[in-house]
Amino acid sequence: MRRRVALALCAVLSLLAMGNGRPPWTARRRPHPSPNRLAMARVAIADWPDEPESPAAVDPERFANALRGICGWMPPGRATRYAGWILEAARTFEVDPFLVAALVYREGRCRYDAENGDRGSGIGLTLIDTRMYWENVRHGHLRYRVREDGAWVDRDRVVDRFPFNGPRLRVPEANVYFASALLSMWRDQHASVDEAFDNVTHRHFVSHFVWGDRVRSDRQEDRILTERRRLLEYYGEPEGATPIVWGGVTFGCPLHGCPRVISSYIGSEREGGARHHRGVDLESLPGEEVRAVSDGLVVFAGVDLPGGQNNRQLRTTEEFEAVPRSQLAAGGRYVCVRHPRPGDLHGVRSCYMHLEEVRVHYGDHVSRGDVVGTVGRTGMQTSAAHLHLELHTEQLEDPSEVLYGLLLGHREADPLPSR
């Protein structure tokens, strides 16, 4: 009897809530670390250009190759299966397959058995948190509400291909199926949710997939949309960000998916002021391909060792592995490329540091966009993996100025003081 009364009371309260501006449900949220305020200050929403469109028709083979390109380690057969499941689910729920694939990489790192990750909770390829959706997904239906003409209106979609539970979300096909369904819900619901809850300003409804009803930071969506741009480039559409001409040299992006975000600037202090940063650091993940910013000649491919001007050219993987990581100086494994420019004997030199893999040799000719290595953290003591980029002419140049538009950020957000 008491249970029936309680249920009836809840129903009455829900109906009352549907008639006013308050949402008739408990705010959905996931356990999550506090937002990184320094990271939030690095880039503003107004800095971002419009996101590129996805192709109207997606070729499954090219899509599988793009998935392999971004995941790195994925066997061809698995990439084909994952691509097929993503494309099928995206068609079923009319969402962007490149966005679903971006979640697969950014959230679960392409691992079907992923758990928790840097978000604090979630299961499977896209880190879905079942607790966040217990009111929405029940008995083969996805039910939610949107605000229309001053009232909350019910929506209902059938999602009965798989049970919605933790064990099943570890199955890749089921995970991308529910991820696509939930993305379709947030696409329909995000405008209503943004009006009903306090949110940090954000660009895309995918923020709600990460945070729930209350978006506390827009940086997660920045990173997911970056992975989406990377996937589109691996797919071959579009070609990527528009190159920049500076000093007679045409420059492209040092990483896929530009624009990319600067996390630390030239001149900022290192080692308590004992030295100063000679380039910019770019937010990036271990294993990302590092690309030559322009045509040129590889003038260094080796390691930075302790002591002034103590650098060693190396050629083979065995030679690189023979140098203990603990003995590397700040630059770690790195590559420098000299780019010719009219009327200048020296040209422009670009250097790419902290690499995990070096994929070119001294004397190689490279074209803009060619892969010279992969992102790592060699030579670093405490920092997370990232790409350090330097530009030199007769003097040290500032990549944040030379490559503005390909690289985004605000210098005042750098936590380390500059000289």
Residues 176 and 69 in one domain: yes
Would you tell me the crossing angle of helices 60-71 and 97-106 to the nearest 10 degrees?
20
Residue scoring higher pLDDT (265 or 377): 377
Task: Say what the pLDDT of residue 17 is.
Answer: 45
pLDDT in tens, 79-88: 999 999 999 9
Query: What band does 9 get if pLDDT is binned at 50, 70 and 90?
Result: very low
17 within a domain of the structure (yes/no): no
Residue 386 is predicted with a pLDDT of 96
Q: Is the pTM of this model over 0.85?
A: yes
Last-in-domain residue among 203, 234, 265: 234
Distance CA 277, CA 259 (A): 22
Any residues with CB less than 8 A from the CB of 50 and at least 6 apart, and which?
none
Residue 343 lies in a domain: yes
* For residue 106, pLDDT beyond 70: yes
Name the amino acid, one letter, at 181.
A
H-only helix segments in 107-218: 166-169, 172-196, 206-211
CATH code of the domain covering residue 260? 2.70.70.10
- Whether residues 228 and 251 share a domain: the answer is no
Q: Is residue 21 part of a domain?
A: no
Question: Do 311 and 192 share a domain, yes or no?
Answer: no
Tally of structural domains, the chain: 2
For residues 260 and 127, membership in a common domain is answered with no
Token output for 192: 């209503």
Per residue in 17-56, pLDDT (tens digit) is 444 567 899 899 987 767 888 888 899 999 999 999 999 9
Single residue among 234, 264, 283 that ends a domain in this structure:
234
Give the tens place of pLDDT for each residue, 164-214: 999 999 999 999 999 999 999 999 999 999 999 999 999 999 999 999 999
Percent of the chain having pLDDT more than 70? Answer: 89
Residue 319 falls inside a structural domain? yes
Residues 178 and 303 in one domain: no
Residue 134 belongs to domain with CATH number: 1.10.530
Residue 359 forms part of a structural domain = yes
Whether residue 13 lies inside any domain: the answer is no
Q: Which domain holds residue 39?
A: 34-234
Residues 166 and 271 in one domain: no
Q: For 304, which DSSP code? A: E
| Tokens 């770690």, located at residue | 332
Q: Are residues 227 and 345 in the same domain?
A: no
Same domain, 192 and 43: yes
pLDDT one-digit tens code per residue, 270-298: 555 446 678 999 999 999 999 999 999 99
Residue 418 lies in a domain: no
Query: What are 392's strand-pairing partners?
Result: 349, 396
Looking at the fold, whether 64 and 206 belong to one and the same domain comes out as yes
**Local structure of 58: helix, strand or coil:** coil
Quick one: 399 and 278 in the same domain? yes
Q: Are residues 225 and 257 in the same domain?
A: no
pLDDT score at 15:
43
Q: Tell me the pLDDT tens digit for each residue of 225-240.
A: 999 999 999 999 877 7
CB atoms within 10 A of CB 239: 12
pLDDT band at 410 (very low <50, low <70, confident <90, very high): confident
Query: 28 lies in a domain?
Result: no
d(CA 359, CA 370): 10
Give the residue from 311, 225, 302 showing the smallest Cα distance to 47: 225
Last residue of a domain, one of 234, 252, 273: 234
User: Do 109 and 253 share a domain, yes or no?
Assistant: no
